[in-house]
């Protein structure tokens, strides 16, 4: 754990955390030394961030024995890839999701704060061997650092992905 990550972990969160999510930055480097990162595009039907690109990941379930198991499960569910190792942790961040709930004539907004724990990972399969789960994503791209600014994604996820391109290869 880096000193800055350790210091961050010692501080209480700014607001109570309602759920923990994980993200896996699946990256590979080609024979020219160019690093690529896998970014699935969320389905247009997703309640949160439709049509935005992201790293594979999702909510840690109560049945997940560990964060690593949640990470492996999410990558397998979303991209049919098998994690072989976690290379390093990436900066955690919090975000808020909002959902409009209608109960008869009453309408209210439910807000939840999520803590995302992200990691740079290696997978068993070769670079382009992935298929996105059509229930959650409409497509997937391998993106280079120079193409990242053109990809639609949240600012926090863009910061996370940018760090992957700065990490040692």
Q: What is the mean pLDDT of residues 104-114?
A: 89
Q: What is the pLDDT of residues 4-45, one digit of tens each?
A: 555 555 666 667 889 999 999 998 888 898 999 999 999 888
Instruction: Give the three-class secondary structure for 89.
Output: strand
Confidence category of residue 2, pLDDT binned at 50, 70, 90: low
Confidence category of residue 64, pLDDT binned at 50, 70, 90: very high
Q: What is the mean pLDDT of residues 123-139?
A: 80
Whether 127 has a pLDDT exceeding 90, the answer reads no
pLDDT of residue 23: 96
72 within 8 A of 61, measured Cβ to Cβ: no
Q: What is the mean pLDDT of residues 73-89?
A: 93
Question: Number of folded domains in the chain?
Answer: 1
Query: What separation in angstroms does the CA of 43 have from each of 13, 51, 145?
Result: 30, 6, 23
CATH number, position 126: 3.90.79.10
Range of the domain at 85: 3-166
Distance (Å, whole) CA 89 – CA 92: 8
pTM for the model:
0.81
């Amino acid at each position: 754990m880096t000193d800055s990550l350790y210091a961050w972990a010692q501080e209480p969160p700014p607001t109570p955390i309602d759920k923990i999510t994980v993200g896996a930055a699946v990256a590979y480097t080609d024979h020219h030394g160019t690093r690529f990162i896998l970014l699935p595009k969320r389905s247009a039907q997703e309640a949160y961030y439709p049509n935005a690109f992201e790293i594979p990941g999702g909510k840690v379930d109560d049945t997940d024995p560990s964060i690593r198991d949640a990470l492996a499960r999410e990558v397998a569910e979303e991209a049919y890839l098998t994690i072989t190792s976690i290379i390093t942790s990436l900066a955690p961040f919090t975000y808020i999701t909002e959902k409009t709930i209608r109960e008869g004539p009453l309408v209210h907004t439910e807000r939840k704060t999520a803590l995302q724990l992200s990691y740079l990972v290696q997978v068993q399969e070769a670079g382009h061997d992935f298929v996105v789960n059509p229930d959650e994503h409409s497509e997937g791209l391998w993106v280079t650092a120079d193409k990242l600014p053109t990809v639609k994604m949240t600012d926090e996820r863009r910061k996370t992905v940018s760090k992957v391109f700065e990490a040692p290869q």
